[in-house]
């Protein structure tokens, strides 16, 4: 699948890709400084929402053109045509039309970039920001459809909270899709949260009380400095780890012929885990920096905890500690790329009429790109998710007590989860068919076979702790996302108030929750 290239053309491609990565980091650091300036001098208390929209949009477009040149025009073309579709198609069918166009336009750009220009150059390409813009376009289209066409009784609590009741102006729309805080690396945020931030309403809303009604708090607007400093420290450590350790533990070594022929099974399993562990810090760096930029601008505050400490995780995309300490496939997914998982749930899973899990994984593969490795990873992910759910529901309740047995169970499931995750995502890193199948052949497709046997032999049943009315009315995979939405505050504050009574049991697992 790799095109034939001369040494000189390969060198040019590598040089160009490196310059794009440097541009990306420079632009994100500039965005961080701009965010501090934006919060200090263009605070909602000092200037109008119109000025804040205009400046956020112009800065975003400037960064896009600086980083990607004329390729950034794709951002405007995709956003502009989608907005026209919203106006012309009407609220009845706009969500479907925008979904097909935005995802289709993204796919065309990914196909031309991968198979015409630079196969294998994974990072810092113009299709990356387009993936975030696609999420925003489709999310907003569904939210407008829910708010202006469907009846409230037809909506789930989360859909009612996110519903947009009027058509956004062109300036509001472009500001939402192309603002400088999220145009390069996201993360995705809801339209209502973004507008509340621009208009200065978000910082005056407290976390919902027990009565489920929106409440105001009398505290002064909190400073994000501590949260930003902590996240920048995480960025620095992640970047240092990536530059020093990651290159010493390449994922490609898992398919090295000599390694496969001579290494023992424990050695293979250990290196598989360590090499994938070393591949994660670059994602930690990019997503945490993006989160810090939004916080520095004053966006991302979601109220105070019970101790009165300000929480700045409204649009956080990951929880590193929970990822690395995951004891289940579900727990890992709950803390990895959180905002993308919420998008998949909102536009696909809870609206699918059949096989929602399969449809959701397939949409995730299409959205990520056209490399064959993505599809292998997500097809494998379907098997692993269903098998892990079956094992957990059939066996976990036997190991809850006593604490020593629970500790033993956690250690075993941690090791199994880390190996399973690593096994699943190897094709995502290798990208191509032949290397991916070479890896799976070296493992004799053992986890695929085990997953199939689990699904064939174990009965499908719910664990005792999930046998309640609410969970019987909603799929467990969908509820997973609702719990995370409440935990991370992704929804607008009014939505969190609407669903607080429905999810009061979330607090007991807040510290352990983890995509």
Q: Which residues are catalytic?
A: 337, 368
Tell me 458's DSSP state: S
Question: In this structure, what token pair is assigned to residue 14?
Answer: 């590598």
Tell me 250's DSSP state: -
Phi, psi torsion values for 216, nearest 5 degrees: -100, 150
Report the C-alpha gap between 396 and 405 in whole angstroms.
Answer: 11
Name every residue whose Cβ is closer than 8 Å to that of residue 491 and which is 6 or more positions away in sequence.
158, 161, 162, 190, 193, 485, 499
Interhelix angle 127-148/170-178, nearest 10 degrees: 140
Report the C-alpha gap between 18 and 61 in whole angstroms.
Answer: 22
Report the C-alpha gap between 142 and 347 in whole angstroms.
Answer: 7
Identify whether the C-beta of residue 178 lies closer than 8 Å to the C-beta of residue 79.
yes
Helix, strand, coil % in the chain, rounded to nearest 5: 70, 0, 30
Q: What is the 3-state secondary structure (H, E, C) of 330-396?
A: HHHHHHECHHHHHHHHHHCHHHCCCCHHHHHHHHHHHHHCCCHHHHHHHHHHHHHHHHHHHHHHHHH
Length of the chain: 515
Interhelix angle 433-442/372-395, nearest 10 degrees: 40
Beta bridge partners of 304: 310
């Amino acid at each position: 699948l790799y095109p034939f290239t001369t040494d000189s053309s390969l060198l040019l491609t590598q040089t160009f890709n490196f310059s794009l990565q440097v541009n990306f980091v420079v632009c994100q650091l500039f965005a961080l400084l701009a965010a501090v300036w934006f919060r200090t001098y263009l605070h909602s208390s000092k200037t109008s929402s119109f000025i804040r929209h205009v400046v956020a949009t112009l800065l975003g477009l400037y960064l896009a053109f600086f980083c990607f040149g004329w390729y950034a025009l794709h951002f405007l073309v995709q956003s502009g045509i989608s907005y026209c579709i919203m106006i012309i198609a009407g609220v009845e069918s706009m969500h479907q039309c925008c979904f097909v166009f935005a995802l289709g336009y993204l796919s065309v750009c990914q196909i031309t970039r991968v198979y015409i220009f630079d196969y294998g150059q994974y990072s810092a390409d113009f299709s990356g920001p387009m993936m975030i813009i696609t999420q925003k376009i489709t999310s907003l289209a569904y939210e407008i459809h829910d708010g202006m066409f469907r009846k409230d009784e037809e909506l789930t609590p989360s859909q009612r909270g996110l519903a947009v009741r009027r058509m956004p102006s062109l300036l509001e729309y472009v500001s939402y899709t192309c603002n400088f805080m999220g145009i390069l690396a996201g993360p995705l945020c809801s339209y209502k949260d973004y507008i509340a931030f621009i208009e200065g309403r978000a910082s005056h809303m407290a976390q919902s009380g027990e009565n489920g009604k929106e409440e105001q708090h009398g505290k002064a607007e909190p400073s994000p400095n501590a949260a930003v400093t902590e996240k920048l420290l995480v960025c620095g450590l992640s970047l240092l780890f990536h530059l020093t350790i990651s290159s010493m533990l390449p994922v490609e070594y898992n398919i090295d012929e000599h390694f496969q022929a001579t290494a023992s099974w424990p050695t293979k399993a250990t290196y598989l885990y360590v090499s994938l562990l070393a591949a994660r810090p670059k994602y930690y760096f990019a997503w945490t920096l993006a989160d810090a930029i939004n916080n520095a601008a004053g966006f991302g505050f979601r109220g105070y905890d019970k101790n009165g400490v300000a929480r700045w995780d409204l649009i956080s995309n990951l929880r590193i500690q929970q990822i690395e300490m995951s004891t289940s496939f579900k727990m890992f997914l709950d803390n990895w790329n959180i905002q993308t998982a919420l998008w998949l749930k909102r536009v696909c899973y809870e609206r699918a009429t059949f096989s929602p899990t399969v449809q959701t994984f397939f949409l995730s593969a299409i959205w990520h790109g056209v490399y064959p490795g993505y599809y292998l990873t997500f097809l494998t992910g379907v098997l692993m998710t269903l098998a892990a759910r079956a094992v957990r529901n059939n066996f976990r309740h036997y190991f809850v007590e006593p604490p020593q047995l629970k500790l033993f169970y956690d250690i075993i499931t941690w090791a199994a989860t880390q190996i399973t995750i690593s096994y699943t995502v190897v094709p995502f890193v290798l990208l191509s068919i032949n290397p991916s199948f070479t890896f799976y052949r070296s493992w004799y497709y053992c986890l695929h076979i085990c997953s199939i046997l689990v699904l064939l032999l174990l009965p499908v049943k719910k664990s005792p702790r999930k046998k309640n009315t609410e969970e019987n009315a909603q799929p467990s995979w969908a509820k997973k996302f609702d719990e995370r939405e409440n935990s991370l505050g992704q929804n607008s504050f009014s939505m969190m108030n609407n669903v607080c009574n429905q999810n009061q049991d979330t607090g007991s697992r807040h510290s352990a929750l983890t995509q």
